[in-house]
Chain A
Amino acid sequence: MILKVLKYSFSDLIRSRWSYVYLAFYLVLGFVLLFLNENLSKAVITLMNIVVVLTPMIGTIFGIMYFYNSREFTELLLAQPIRRRTIFLGQYLGVALSLSLSLVVGLGIPFAIYGITQSSQIWDFTALLVSGTFLTFIFSGLSIYIGLLNSNKIKGFGYAILMWLFFAVIYDGVFLISLIVFDDYPLDTFTLFASFFNPIDLSRIMILLKLDISALLGYTGALFQKFFGTGQGLVVAFIMLLLWVFGPMLMLVRKSSKKDF
């Protein structure tokens, strides 16, 4: 049943223009980047900055927009003998999957044409796509959850955008300032843990581990060394991102089963 709802949401989004616009955007972005940068590695670095900021934003906006737009259909489904969990998880996965597909296909095609599969950048690029997909799942989940909490569309949109802004900019700002203020204290444990609580930071670190490992290893802390120097960092970041996917999903399921429509 969940698959049916998923399939419906998915094909609904695929048929709607936005999915194609999103896909086209990534296609154009990919080609332009590769055209402007003479080498793949530079394009990957530029793309990283874009993906880490943009995929959460698109995920957030699409998630909440889809949730409010398909409200009538949701109410129709609710009248059927279908479990609520099935309905909302199906919708959520439909949105997240179609967005991720746009991302992967949209960026995959230009880079594949420019020969990423034969280059040494393939792992950096894979890390990029993986974290982009993670971010899409996390942020569309969070924004649907916000949609469930707020029946008022304006309020819902506002909160969703604020949530994105918080994770993309504000969190890092507070984080940076607290690091500078508490400079005299040993901070490496705090630093690592603080970055676990922001999915954008996590996926950024996952990419840093690929692109900037030389700089990261310049720091003296033993914990840092262990985290970045071994494969541990990548594994931990990956697990934390998985937790970040399942957290909002669980919240969504719990909220949806209690909500009074």
Chain B
Amino acid sequence: MRLTIVSILLLLVSHRGNTSVWDVCATCSIQTIEEAVERAAPSDTVRVQKGVYVCEDIELRKPVVLLGEDGAVLDGLGTGYVLKILSDSVAVSGFKIINSGRSYTKDFAAIYVFRSSYFTLSNLEIVDPFFGILLEKSKNGTVVNNRVYGVSKREDDSGNGIHLWHCTNIIVEHNEVYGLRDGIYLEFVDESKISKNYTHNNIRYGLHFMFSNHDEYVDNIFENNGAGVAVMFSKFIIMQNNRFTHNWGTASYGLLLKEIYDAEVIDNSFTENTIGIFIDGSTRINYTGNLFEQNGWAIKVSGGCYTNKFYQNNFIGNSFDVSYNSKMNDNSFNGNYWSDYTGYDLDKDGIGDVPYRPVKLFSYIVNNTPETIILLRSLFVDIINFSEKVSPVFTPDDLIDNQPSTFSFQ
């Protein structure tokens, strides 16, 4: 009994006191990462010095810290995975990773994490991977300060930058992803936080959310992606302070919400997107403090959207503020600022005395006959819009902002 206690104590002491550092370099005694990892004890550090290291399918099965110094490059030779993290408490940092494999049958990734907890991936530069960072069935991890980029042209032969599948409580922060299929992809990911990332010029979505609940993404910038950001089939999502810009194209939007329930869309800015937010079958969502500027359609509402609340948003210079494809409306648009508002405010309380109708007849016409878009802003269109405004026939007559703000919100 005593012996076991002593030995445990000894083990603990040795464990805490002797975390050794294993250097890897061309002239060191250890020249490969495999060997260093092999010899390292749990929670040891493997420090990789400057140089190019061949790194095919290296598996980290114990909690080690893998640290790349300036100029440390991992070369996957294009065969398969580069690093596989299969243990808890692994940290990988500071590498440039090149030539990870491509496949049509396997999800090869530069860094693959499976069933790991408390891992940290930071300061990595991943060049032209199939998948950049692929996390599966993992928990409590952190992915920070990485740069993942490629030169993908087609959806079918490219992977995602940072891909999370069946994960819980992951922090994805300060990453930059461009030139891949989806910038950041989440499927069955709960209680995670995606913040301060910059995804741009990806072929499909900047951020893609599926079946993920109780997540939040804040302070991200999504720019010039093929179709913007898609959030689908998820509940209790908080989207705050993100910037959605320049998502142009026929099926392109700043933000797509499909089958989303109980979410908050707060303080985001949507500028110069073909569609700012496309809402389809989403219910109980609060939109507040958002800025919609110079979008084609600020908000396009498709069927099955109930009790959504829009308040204190700024709608400035959009071609169309709100577009509906039916006459039904169960959403409220009270108390927003609309730059197209032409009413007056006699009692000077900052609330316009005349209600505002954000849905124009012309947006209804364009929905039915898209070619008519060429007549946008013509005098004739202004005239028919005006007559519809006076007596709505085609547009939902209860879709009114009863308290339009006369000043824009800060």
Contacts and interface: CB of A to CB of B under 8 A. Distances in A.
A77 to B, nearest CB: 38
A175 B371 contact: no
Contacts of A176: 365, 372, 375, 380-381
B376 A53 contact: no
Contact of A215 (B376, B379, B382): B376
Given A42-B316, A42-B317, A49-B382, A212 B296 contact: yes
Contacts of B375: 172, 175-176, 201
B409 to A, nearest CB: 13
Interface in B270-288: 272-275
B93 to A, nearest CB: 40
B359 to A, nearest CB: 15
Contact of A214 (B274, B382, B383): B274
B342 to A, nearest CB: 11
Given A179-B369, A219-B373, A213 B248 contact: yes
Nearest to A41: B317
Contact of B377 (A179, A195, A208): A208
B248 A217 contact: yes
Nearest to A171: B380
A119 interface: no
B371 A219 contact: yes
Nearest to A201: B378
Contacts of B376: 208, 212, 215-216
Contacts of B319: 211-212, 214-215
A192 B294 CA distance: 24
B374 A195 contact: yes
A49 B247 CA distance: 26
B368 interface: yes
Contacts of B316: 42
Contacts of A41: 294, 317
A215 B296 contact: yes
B374 A205 contact: yes
Interface in B334-382: 339, 365, 368-382
Contacts of A16: none
A168 interface: yes
Contact of B365 (A45, A169, A180, A221): A180
A207 B378 CA distance: 11
Interface residues of B, number: 35
Nearest to B248: A217
Contact of A217 (B249, B294, B377, B380): B249
A204 B381 CA distance: 13
B99 interface: no
Contacts of B368: 180, 183
B81 interface: no
Interface string B32-44: 0000000000000
Contacts of B234: none
B377 A172 contact: no
Contacts of B22: none
Contacts of B248: 213-214, 217
Given A183-B369, A214-B295, A191 B374 contact: yes
Interface string B317-336: 10110000000000000000
A36 B382 CA distance: 21
A173 interface: yes
Interface in A50-108: 52-53
Given A176-B372, A176-B375, A219-B250, A214 B294 contact: yes
Most buried by B among A42, A175, A217, A224: A217
Contacts of B383: 169
B297 interface: yes
Interface in A144-203: 168-169, 172-173, 175-176, 179-180, 183, 187-188, 190-192, 195, 200-201
Nearest to B373: A219
Contacts of B296: 212, 214-218
Interface in A10-45: 38, 41-42, 45
Contacts of B294: 41, 211, 214
A157 to B, nearest CB: 21
A237 B214 CA distance: 51
Given A42-B339, A213-B248, A204 B377 contact: yes
Interface in B290-326: 294-297, 316-317, 319-320
A212 B272 CA distance: 9
Interface in B249-284: 249-250, 252, 272-275
Contact of B297 (A42, A48, A218): A218
Interface of A: 38, 41-42, 45, 48-49, 52-53, 168-169, 172-173, 175-176, 179-180, 183, 187-188, 190-192, 195, 200-201, 204-205, 207-208, 211-221, 224-225
19 contacts: A41-B294, A42-B316, A49-B379, A180-B372, A183-B369, A187-B369, A201-B374, A208-B374, A211-B294, A212-B296, A212-B377, A214-B248, A215-B376, A216-B376, A217-B248, A218-B275, A219-B370, A220-B250, A221-B371
Closest 7 CB pairs of A and B: A215-B296, A215-B319, A172-B380, A214-B296, A218-B274, A187-B371, A191-B371
Interface of B: 248-250, 252, 272-275, 294-297, 316-317, 319-320, 339, 365, 368-383, 408
